[in-house]
Structure 1
Amino acid sequence: MDRREIAALLAYIGRLDPRTIRVDQGEARDQLAQWHELLSDVPMATPYGWDTRIAARQHIRSSPYQILPSDVIRAWENYRRDRLARHCDPTPSADPDDQAAWSAELASTRRAVAAGTAQPAQARAITSSRGEIDPKLEAMLQGVGSCIPPAARAALAPYRPGRAAREAAIAQGQPDALSVRCEWCKAPPGERCRRRRIAPDDGAYGTAPRATPHPGRLDLAVARHTEQAQRPVTA
């Protein structure tokens, strides 16, 4: 707050608590200088919830003691602490390989949230959606194609054969078999098929995952893909 805002704040407080009014011109000047020295880095109000007058009014309502600059500072620090506690750092749009730019963007976002000029970002697990991705980050992902480099993906292929077979099938233009439910092993969409053995009592058992989907699941995915491809034509 600048000196004019401090003077307006003292005038507002004086209307609520006459004990803070200084009649002598010298005392009023010293009071203004003291409050400005202590509250110069505290904003008068922010777009998201902070108002110094509300904090002063709340103190006068709840405390029998005369308000001091430290009471305003304490309320401001509680406001900053609460906002940072509810903030989840969003993914910066800077290049992850540029550590200085990445850290600077994170720090800038946190400072804006603490200062009340930006809203805290909620956890991505609650609000995650394709529409909320930063446009710069979206353009970068489209240029790269994947967050895993091709060399690393090829090196990981022997250790995850199911995913490697799925990616190879999609790359060849075949439908994704894991997009449908398997009628044989009852694997839900998105999960790999499992080996289903028939016990002597006609019960099914077996939980070992398969590297490739069951043939019936692949046929169902092909039929579903063909149906979706023909739907716009028949319409």
Structure 2
Amino acid sequence: MTPREVAALLAYVVRLDPRMNLDDPQAAADRLAQWCDLLSDVPATAHGWDAARTARDYIARNPYRIQPSDISRPWHAHKADALNRHVGTFEPAQHPHLDPDDVTGYRAALAAERHAVATGQQAPDTHRAITAGPAAAEVERRLAELGTYMPRTVAQALAAHRPRRAEREQLAAANRPDPLDVPCTHPPCRAPIGQPCRNLHRNPRTAHPSRIDAATAHHHARQEQPA
């Protein structure tokens, strides 16, 4: 908080608790200097945070005179909770100027995002693509087999340029059968694992019916295996 914000907070505190009023100007100035020092890293307002509301809640619930630590402690607890709830991902789509292959730039943007969350300038991003449930471990394993060599948010931004890979990742994330997990046994095709079916007159991103059936059976067998 700036000295002006701290002074306004102290005036509000005195209005709620007249015991905090000081008649001696020097004592009032000393107290203001102390509060400014101890609250210099505490914002007046932020996402989910309001220093005045924190002071009001303290005064309403405690018989003791409020101290600056009664405001700074809740702020640092709020800050730690926000960082713990923040997934720590970075959305390149929100920053079109950032080159997905620029590792240094990506890390700097990620650090800036975490700093914004830590200082209350930005709300934590708590979204997770895969959370829990019996299928979560299987989905993670399948995505790992595909090779997660870049953050998923970057992969999503590049999906239009790598449709086959994006389709496989979508199938894995939805825990659905993937034809490319098994070889194709159709005689004119015989495409190996990971390769699309050949000699298809329909959509080239589909697979022969026998391969789809084999992939479905393979998927069900995986589901029945113990984790």
Q: TM-score range by the shorter chain?
A: 0.5 to 0.7
Deviation at 1:32, TM superposition (A): 1.0
Structure 1 unpaired stretches of 5+: 127-132, 149-158, 195-206, 209-235
Deviation at 1:138, TM superposition (A): 5.7
TM-score (norm 1): 0.60
Distance change in 2, residues 1:113/1:31 (3 Å): same
Distance change in 2, residues 1:138/1:169 (3 Å): farther
Distance change in 2, residues 1:167/1:38 (3 Å): farther
CA distance in 1, matches of 2:161, 2:106: 19
In the other structure, the counterpart of 1:6 is 6
Distance change in 2, residues 1:32/1:173 (3 Å): same
- The amino acid of 1:112's aligned partner reads A
Deviation at 1:165, TM superposition (A): 4.1
CA distance in 2, matches of 1:62, 1:178: 70
Deviation at 1:99, TM superposition (A): 2.6
In the other structure, the counterpart of 1:75 is 74
Larger-Rg structure:
1
Helix, strand or coil: the match of 1:7? helix
Retained in 1: the 8 A contact 2:90–2:109? Answer: no
Retained in 1: the 8 A contact 2:164–2:205? Answer: no
In the other structure, the counterpart of 1:176 is 206
Q: Does 1:105 align with 2:105?
A: no
Distance change in 2, residues 1:171/1:119 (3 Å): farther
CA distance in 2, matches of 1:60, 1:29: 22
CA distance in 2, matches of 1:109, 1:14: 37
Deviation at 1:79, TM superposition (A): 0.9
Aligned partner (choices 152, 155, 164) of residue 194 of structure 2: 164
CA distance in 2, matches of 1:179, 1:43: 61
CA distance in 2, matches of 1:11, 1:50: 19
In the other structure, the counterpart of 2:28 is 28
Q: Does 1:45 align with 2:45?
A: yes
Helix, strand or coil: the match of 1:77? helix
Deviation at 1:123, TM superposition (A): 1.5
Compute the RMSD of aligned alpha carbons: 3.7
TM-score (norm 2): 0.61
Deviation by residue 1:157-178 (Cα, 9 ceiling, x = unmatched)? xx96454343656798446248
Q: 1:57-136 alignment to 2 at 5 Å?
A: 57-93=56-92, 94-95=98-99, 97-121=101-125, 122-125=127-130
- The amino acid of 2:27's aligned partner reads E
In the other structure, the counterpart of 1:142 is 160
Retained in 1: the 8 A contact 2:83–2:124? Answer: yes
Helix, strand or coil: the match of 2:36? helix
CA distance in 2, matches of 1:112, 1:164: 41
Deviation at 1:10, TM superposition (A): 0.4
Distance change in 2, residues 1:174/1:4 (3 Å): closer
Deviation at 1:73, TM superposition (A): 0.6
